[in-house]
Amino acid sequence: MFTGIILGQGKVTAKRPIGTGMIFELMADFHLDNPTEGESIAVNGVCLTARDIRGRGFLVDAAPESLARTNLSDLKVGEMVNLERALRLSDRLGGHLVSGHVDAVTQVLARRSLGDFRVFTFAVPQGLGRYIIAKGSVALDGISLTVCDLNAHHFSVSIIPHSLRTTPMNQYNPGRRVNLELDMIGKYVEKLLTPKETVQGGVVIEPGGRLNQDFLAQHGFIS
């Protein structure tokens, strides 16, 4: 679990295929305090397992599924990526809850300057628009950001000067592919609201239904 608050950047120092997957060698620009072999680390918002940790350097393995669903396959040697170590229960939750499980790859449609800020516009991936809400949270390449404008086809976020200095986003131009993770709360709510039936031995043991105001009142959640 992560927060979308980027800890620092890492440079891709090497990459090589392993079967249909890929091994990336990364060098962080910050010290890995008390590293644990096998700990989770988000690389451009993708939850991966760090191994062979030596100083600031470590390896991560990207499975074929991760390469197919993210922009990891686009990474080149020498390119910078966003890094975040896993959340501890004692940490401040400065962003929002991020799982590191990317929903889709989106694309930068436009960017414009607004004083020292930059406003980026991204495409809404097909079928995922219902999970994006104005003033809601999204993670883009692992960065927790707030949606400031939205319609059926695109959404925009405003990037503060600090993020422009501490992440590679100032280098993002139209056409850039970016990892998108949507707020998991909305997906769980949708799951609970979807009618369902469980059939066992040809018998419906859980009738289809919908979580609604009648249900909430009947069970004492509202009056």
Active site residue 153: no
**Catalytic residue (one of 42, 47, 50, 139):** 47
SS3 33: coil
Catalytic residue among 101, 148, 153, 221: 101
| Measured CA angle at 13 (ends 163, 11), to 5 deg | 5
Measured CA angle at 111 (ends 110, 116), to 5 deg: 170
| Residue among 13, 20, 36, 49 flagged as catalytic | 49
State both tokens at 93: 């939750």
Q: Percentages helix, strand, coil for the chain, rounded to the nearest 5?
A: 15, 45, 40
As a whole number of angstroms, the distance between CA 12 and CA 34 comes to: 22
| CA separation for the pair 136, 200 (Å, rounded) | 39
Q: Tell me the C-alpha to C-alpha distance, in Å, between residue 95 and each of 58, 132, 143, 223.
A: 25, 16, 8, 33
Q: Is 194 a catalytic residue?
A: no
3-state secondary structure 61-72: EECHHHHHHCCH
Picking from 124, 97, 87, 95, the residue whose alpha carbon sits closest to that of residue 109 is: 124
Say whether 146 is catalytic: yes
Mark whether 24 is an active-site residue.
no
49 among known catalytic residues: yes
Rounded Cα gap, residues 5 and 71, in angstroms: 19
Which among 13, 36, 146, 194 is annotated as catalytic? 146
Q: What is the set of active-site residues?
A: 2, 40, 47, 49, 63, 101, 146
